[in-house]
Amino acid sequence: MQEVPIALIVILVFIVIILANSIRILREYERGVVFRLGRLINGGVKGPGLIILIPVIDKMVKVSLRTVVLDVPTQDVITQDNVSIKVNAVVYFRVIQAEKAIVEVENFLFATSQISQTTLRSVLGQSELDDLLSQREKINHKLQQIIDTNTEPWGIKVSNVEVKQIDLPQEMQRAMAKQAEAERERRSKVIAAEGEFQASQRLADAARVLASEPSALTLRYLQTLREIATENNSTTIFPVPVDLLKPFLENHKPVLEK
């Protein structure tokens, strides 16, 4: 059996290496930024699918276009009303121009993280504590706009920013708890006062009706007697107004005079 020349084996291995370095397959969410002799070629963004490169001459850098969830580390912030708090956030962004993300900035992930941290401290430092707690949506929108403006030259689109947690000092938490308790007590007193006021109005209305209609007072008196007789089986002494007896006295007055 004739032996295969060593030169042929070397050539075959060389061809395989060249093919391996010249063929790339990119997924649907990936793009390749191609540099030829160090320069970005026209239409330098390739993919997805099969990509053919010139060995040694072309170099490709892969970029993912999927949304990145960036966790912003906890930052120490002093609010406008001089309250020291700890705040962390999360940033959602994606690369929309792969060539800018590679050419315009060295590491777009690190750069986006740093600009998010500085913006978080700056924006929250210009706000008061009550605004941070009550207007969270407004703060998030402002953070998103500022970070998106700063990252736009890098081909990055920031879609959303959320402040995750605000840690308050212990003394501030106790003060807020006392304030909330005082507010609840104030509301309960106001509600009780409103109830008393409404009850007094109803009693005043009832008194006016009874004063204008003596028969209504008589019916109410008889109803009260009936309720007492039903609930208690013992003897009850109940005062009888003289006004109730006037009609009977007037009817028997001629008899008495005779």
Question: What is the tens place of the pLDDT at every residue in 78-133?
Answer: 888 888 899 999 999 999 999 999 999 999 999 999 999 999 999 999 988 888 88
CA distances from 195 to 157, 199, 208, 209 (A): 56, 6, 20, 21
Q: pTM of the predicted model, to two decimals?
A: 0.66
State the average pLDDT for the chain. 82
Q: What is the distance between the alpha carbons of residues 24 and 53, in angstroms, rounded to a whole number?
A: 8
pLDDT beyond 80 at 177: no
Relative to beta strand 49-52, strand 84-95 is unpaired
Q: Decide: 167 and 87 in contact? Cβ < 8 Å.
A: yes
Of residues 251 and 117, which shows the higher confidence score? 117
Question: Which CATH superfamily includes the segment(s) 68-168?
Answer: Band 7 domain (3.30.479.30)
Stretch(es) of the chain classified as CATH 3.30.479.30: 68-168
Q: Decide: 30 and 64 in contact? Cβ < 8 Å.
A: yes
CA distances from 129 to 15, 124, 152, 163, 169 (A): 67, 9, 30, 14, 12
